[in-house]
Structures are given as C-alpha cells and as structure tokens.
C-alpha cells in the first residue's frame, strides 16, 4: 500500500529550499556524466566499453593472471559484474579465462596478445579525456580534487575500492585508497549510518 504523501510532510514552518546548484553532489554528477560520456565515445572507437577498459588496464598489472574475485575487490565491482565483463572480453579475443587444474570452479583471467596490444590505445584515450577536462585547472587543483575524492572514499568507508590498506583500525582488512585518516577517523553518527 502506497503511503499518503501529505501525511509524511511535517506540520512546521517551511524549511528554506536551497538551489540545486548549491550542492556539490549536483556538480559531481553533472561533471562526471559529461567526462564519462566523452571517455566512452573515445573507448568505443577502440571497440570496448569504459568498464571493459578498466578491467583490461587492471588485468595488465597481473602478468600471470588473476582470479575474478581479486579483480572485483581491487576495482570495487561485484564478482558477477566482473564475470559478465570477462565473458564479453573473451568473446572479443582480448582475454583468456582459464580454469584451474586443481579446482575446476576457479578461473584465472589473463590478457591475450591482442588485449595487450590494445592497452596503449586505451591509456591514450583516458589520458586525452583527463587532459581535456582537468589539465586547464592546474596541477594544484587537480591534486586537491583527487585528494578530496580519496578522502570521501575513506570517510564513507566505501568497502570495495582500490588498493592500499585502510588506516581506520576497525577496517584494516578492507582495501581502500591510501589517505591519512588517523586524524580524521569518523564515527558512525557523523556518517549518518549504522556502520
């Protein structure tokens, strides 16, 4: 049964309504959509999606291959999504999916020679997009933006993000971006969540 919206509205003096443009989340969404759209267009010229490109570039770091679950934890994606990407990339001839001889349920993902050959083009597309949208602001602004994003990741305790160990005692086993949080540890009340 759908609740009656009028019963949800409190009967008190009106709360001042700020313009949507005054919220950083609006600008993050606005800019992020346009930057990703530009990157997607460049990557489609290479024959891959943005998500496939991320997986290929991360897979490059593992010479002998890697299990999908490890990629999932490093990239902040689900195992199911990694599996779907792997199937698509294998169909394109860019990766191998090999079953372990000791445990037939375990897969290892490795780049094919074609996948390796494509990597410089993918990196160039990402670098061009980065330069187009972020270089003009200057190196100091770029570093500040990156630090703020990493701080938000750690403050929000996002659980599946890239790589270094978290410095929050309670979450040492999680993989988080390396930001010095010892002076900025956040309580569950400050986060607005229950942890």
**Claim to verify: residue 85 and residue 62 sit in the same structural domain:** yes
**Claim to verify: residue 132 and residue 142 sit in the same structural domain:** no
Report, as an integer, the average pLDDT of 118-141: 92
Q: Does residue 58 lie in a domain region? A: yes
Cβ(129)–Cβ(38) below 8 Å? yes
As a whole number, the mean pLDDT across the chain is: 79
Q: How far apart are CA 46 and CA 54, in angstroms?
A: 13
Range of the domain at 173: 138-195
Give the CA distances from residue 94 to residues 84, 110, 173, 186, in Å, rounded to whole numbers and listed in that order: 14, 9, 32, 42
Number of structural domains (the chain) is: 2
Pick from 124, 145, 119: which is nearest to 60 by CA? 119
Q: How far apart are CA 138 and CA 127, in angstroms?
A: 15
Q: Does residue 156 lie in a domain region? A: yes
| End position of a domain, from candidates 116, 136, 156 | 136
**Claim to verify: residue 119 and residue 172 sit in the same structural domain:** no
Residue bearing tokens 């969540």: 193
Q: Does residue 5 lie in a domain region? A: no
Token digits of residue 114: 């074609």
- Percent of the chain, pLDDT > 90? 42
| End position of a domain, from candidates 136, 159, 184 | 136
**Claim to verify: residue 108 and residue 143 sit in the same structural domain:** no
| 188: pLDDT strictly greater than 70 | no
What CATH number did the domain enclosing 80 receive? 1.10.10.10
Q: Does residue 75 lie in a domain region? A: yes
pLDDT digits (tens, 9 = 90+) for 82-123: 999 999 999 999 999 988 766 667 789 999 999 999 999 999
**Claim to verify: residue 125 and residue 86 sit in the same structural domain:** yes
**Claim to verify: residue 143 and residue 194 sit in the same structural domain:** yes
């Amino acid at each position: 049964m759908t609740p009656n919206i009028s019963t949800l509205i409190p009967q008190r003096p009106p709360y001042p309504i700020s313009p949507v443009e005054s919220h950083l989340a609006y600008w993050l969404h606005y800019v992020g959509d346009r930057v990703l759209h530009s990157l997607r267009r460049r990557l489609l010229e290479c024959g891959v999606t943005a998500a496939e490109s991320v997986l290929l570039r991360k897979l490059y770091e593992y010479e002998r291959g890697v299990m999908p679950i490890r990629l999932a934890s490093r990239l902040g994606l689900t195992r199911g999504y990694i599996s779907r990407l792997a199937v698509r990339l294998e169909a394109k001839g860019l990766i191998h999916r090999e079953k372990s001889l000791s445990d037939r349920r375990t897969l290892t993902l490795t780049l094919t020679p074609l996948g390796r050959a494509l990597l410089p083009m993918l990196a160039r597309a990402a670098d061009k997009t980065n330069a187009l949208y972020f270089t003009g602001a200057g190196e100091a602004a770029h570093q500040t933006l990156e630090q703020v994003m990493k701080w938000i990741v750690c403050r929000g305790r996002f659980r599946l993000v890239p790589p270094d160990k978290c410095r929050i005692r309670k979450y040492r086993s999680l993989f988080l971006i390396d930001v010095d949080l010892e002076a900025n540890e956040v309580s569950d009340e400050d986060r607005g969540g229950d942890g």
